[in-house]
């Protein structure tokens, strides 16, 4: 069974601090997505990572992929309140016809 | 820049009613998906389709059916709505199914009373 585990599931942090969200998956993947979801809204695609060692950055968010460890990280640098949201990772498998989502990490950034 | 459109954003239906949720994508994607999202349960896949008139059951297909008569349109049908189907429903599409989802619709909030 394909499994995608995110941790932590809940994260409360102070503005200006750094933190990392982890996404572990159980089977070799073809690609990995990170999404953001604001309360009451749909999911928005942030990053897609295609190969081992891939790194993508936008603003204060940086995502990386280690396919050998089956691990992706979403690093938050100098958090600001606007980053408060739920972040999901999802893993795609070409032969599966569908992707598998983690349970999401709810991030709250406090002043 | 519309990509995936869910025409009904907020619906209130009575128990036993037949409910149609419509989704249209304008990116010529092969694959379309219906998820439901409930607090504490994450995203759960109901059905997906990899081609016109083709469908596959997801993780929670019971109580739902789907229709894909045209490539751009994927409909979710609740034959007889029940209160436990109160949820947010998300439509999504991707060029290839196993490649992950690039685009979600805005969501449809369904309340069954």
pLDDT tens, per residue, chain B with 113 residues: 669 999 999 999 999 999 999 999 998 998 999 999 998 888 999 999 988 999 999 999 999 999 999 999 999 999 999 999 999 999 999 886 566 787 899 999 999 99
* DSSP, residue by residue, A99-111: EEE---EEEEEE-
Q: Is A98 on the interface with B (CB under 8 A)?
A: yes
pLDDT digits (tens, 9 = 90+) for A46-60: 999 988 889 999 999
- What residues are paired with B45 via a beta bridge? B35
Judge: A45–B98 Cβ closer than 8 Å, yes or no. no
* Nearest residue of A to residue B92, measured between CA atoms: A43
- What residues are paired with A72 via a beta bridge? A23, A65
Calpha distance B29→A84 (Å, rounded): 31
Q: How confident is the model at residue A27 (pLDDT cuts 50, 70, 90)?
A: confident
3-state helix, strand, coil in chain A (%, to 5): 5, 55, 40
pLDDT of residue B98: 61
pLDDT of residue A2: 81
Calpha distance B96→B51 (Å, rounded): 10
Taking a contact as any Cβ pair under 8 Å apart, which residues of chain B between 35 and 54 contact chain A?
Answer: 42-43, 45, 48, 50
Q: How confident is the model at residue A21 (pLDDT cuts 50, 70, 90)?
A: very high
Of A48, A94, A97, Cβ closest to residue B56? A97
Angle at A35 between CA A54 and CA A87, to 5 degrees: 105
pLDDT of residue B41: 84
Q: What is the mean pLDDT of residues A89-101?
A: 79
pLDDT digits (tens, 9 = 90+) for A29-49: 778 999 999 999 999 999 999
**Percent over 90 (pLDDT), chain A:** 78
Half-sphere exposure of A1 (CA within 13 A, CB side): 5
Task: Encode burial over A11-33: b for 16+ CB neighbours within 10 A, e otherwise.
Answer: bebeeeeebebebbbeeebbbbb
Q: How confident is the model at residue A93 (pLDDT cuts 50, 70, 90)?
A: confident
């Amino acid at each position: 069974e394909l499994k995608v585990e995110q941790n932590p599931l809940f994260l409360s942090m102070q503005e200006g601090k750094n933190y990392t969200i982890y996404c572990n998956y159980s089977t070799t993947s073809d690609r990995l997505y990170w999404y953001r979801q604001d309360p009451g809204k749909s999911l928005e695609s942030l990053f897609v990572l295609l190969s081992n060692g891939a790194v993508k950055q936008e603003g204060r968010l940086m995502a990386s992929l280690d396919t050998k460890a089956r691990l992706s990280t979403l690093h938050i640098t100098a958090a600001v309140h606007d980053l408060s949201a739920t972040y999901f990772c999802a893993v795609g498998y070409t032969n599966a016809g569908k992707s598998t989502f983690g349970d999401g990490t709810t991030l709250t950034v406090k002043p | 820049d519309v990509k995936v459109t869910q025409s009904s954003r907020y619906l209130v239906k009575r128990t036993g009613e037949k409910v149609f949720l419509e989704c249209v994508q304008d990116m010529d994607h092969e694959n379309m998906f219906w998820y439901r999202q409930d607090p504490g349960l994450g995203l759960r896949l109901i059905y997906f389709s990899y081609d016109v008139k083709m469908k596959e059951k997801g993780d929670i297909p019971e109580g739902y059916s789907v229709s894909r008569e045209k490539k751009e349109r994927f409909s979710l049908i609740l034959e007889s709505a029940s209160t436990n189907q109160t949820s947010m429903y998300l439509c999504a599409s991707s060029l290839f199914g196993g490649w992950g989802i690039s685009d979600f619709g805005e969501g449809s909030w369904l309340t069954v009373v």
